[in-house]
Amino acid sequence: MSDDQIISLLTEIRDLQKQHVENYKNALQNQRESIEFQKSFVARQRKLVFLVIVIVIVTFTVMALLPQFLGHR
């Protein structure tokens, strides 16, 4: 193998490694964004569950007390 071929091969390997590093950085950034999205989704989901629980408790409380108020009139 000639020196020019070796240099060409090493240059190609270097370029591919640089591309691999850039792709890896991009993948890590995508993972970070995905984790942030999941965190915000979980936070919204918790708020929604809390709201539904409050609505259910209020509804059952009103339904339990409603006959007493209607019976006294």
| CA distance to 42, 45, 66, 67, per residue, from 24 (Å) | 27, 31, 62, 65
> Which ranges of 1-73 would DSSP assign to H, the alpha helix?
3-71
Q: Give residue 73's pLDDT.
A: 56
* Residue reference for tokens 């792709």: 23
Q: Give residue 72's pLDDT.
A: 66
pLDDT in tens, the chain (73 residues): 899 999 999 999 999 999 999 999 999 999 999 999 999 999 999 999 999 999 999 999 999 998 888 876 5
Q: Give residue 33's pLDDT.
A: 98
Q: Give residue 15's pLDDT.
A: 98
The encoded tokens of residue 9 equal: 């091969």
